[in-house]
Chain A
Amino acid sequence: MPELETDSDGVPIDMISSERMEGMASIEKVNLILDSVREGKIVILESGLSPDEESKLIEVTMSEISPDGFSGIEIESYPKQEASQGILGKILGNKPSKLTVIGPANQIQTLHKDSDLITALVSGG
């Protein structure tokens, strides 16, 4: 990804297309997201992550938290269409969530969320 000179007053936002994420292994996705978030960026994923990928993201996040530095992430996505039970339900249940917003916990705060709207407050680093 090309380096971007950022204004210290601004908050950079990476909007990552589903095509870009499609061919990546789970750990590559996790590293891509966390590298950006640790730099103070907000990451918006077009197609979100699967539950297993989200759990890996949280595990790695936990390993990187330090009292005077990184304090973790905020993550929000629209509620998934609820899966029915049975084989089809399990398949649907494993689908990645919809558009997902991830940011540094000390910079992003969810103000409002419902089935089709997420309102977030982003503060400068």
Chain B
Amino acid sequence: MGIISEIRDSISRTISRIFEDEENAKIGIYGPPNAGKTTLANRISRDWGDDAMGAESQIPHETREATRKKDITIEHDGRSVTLDIVDTPGVATKVEYEEFVDYGLDEDLARERAREATQGVTEAIHWLKEDLDGVLYVLDSTQDPYKAVNSMLNGIIQERSLPVVVVANKIDLEDASPNRIEEMFRQHETVRISGLEGNNIDNLYETIAEEFGG
């Protein structure tokens, strides 16, 4: 059995666990590590659901397994859309356990986190290619968006013709430059927000209702 087949078999077992009963559109929150995906997922979940989805952290790859929050109904201006929100691990091309040690984790924990992170990246790519109905693509406005991983994920989104809302996050930070994100993703709707502070979050909800509401 080839390595791709082995990966797919492993992933399909996990997909069955995450997506076992399908009713609502499944919207995946995607982006690089530390873009603020879980912070945004938690804000959406608190604003429209009943509790947070996952732990937020400055340490990369804090989210190493997808978490799904079902039946999130977002309402805006008479429109409403009910979604299942899936917070996914950040997609990266490298995972170095030493980075986690630098954040203060002991070596065994860092190695385990690195192993889980590699699995999480693979799963996130598979869900995007096969199981999601739309994407919230979250980027840190202080970082250069012209990265190969962003181009790759954007290419897959286009191949699948998935509806997407690009989120230029962290606009509360002094060196934020969301115009670079708007330039790179100019064929998609981009909303500037701070998931942490809640800046412009109503505009995001309005765009979600429009893009994913059908």
Contacts and interface: CB of A to CB of B under 8 A. Distances in A.
B95 A71 contact: yes
Contacts of A89: 158, 187
Interface stretch (A7-15, A16-24, A50-58): A50-58
- Report which residue of A50, A54, A83, A89 has the largest number of chain B beta carbons within 10 angstroms of its beta carbon: A54
A72 interface: yes
Main secondary structure of the interface of A (DSSP, over half): mixed
Contact of A62 (B121, B147, B151, B186): B121
B118 interface: yes
B148 interface: yes
Contact of A59 (B122, B147, B155): B122
A52 B153 CA distance: 9
A98 B211 CA distance: 31
Interface residues of A, number: 38
Contact of B159 (A52, A63, A76): A52
Contacts of B146: 79, 113-114
Nearest to B152: A54
A45 to B, nearest CB: 12
B187 A83 contact: yes
Interface string A51-86: 110111011111101010001111111011011110
B155 A50 contact: yes
B132 to A, nearest CB: 14
B97 to A, nearest CB: 5
A62 B95 CA distance: 8
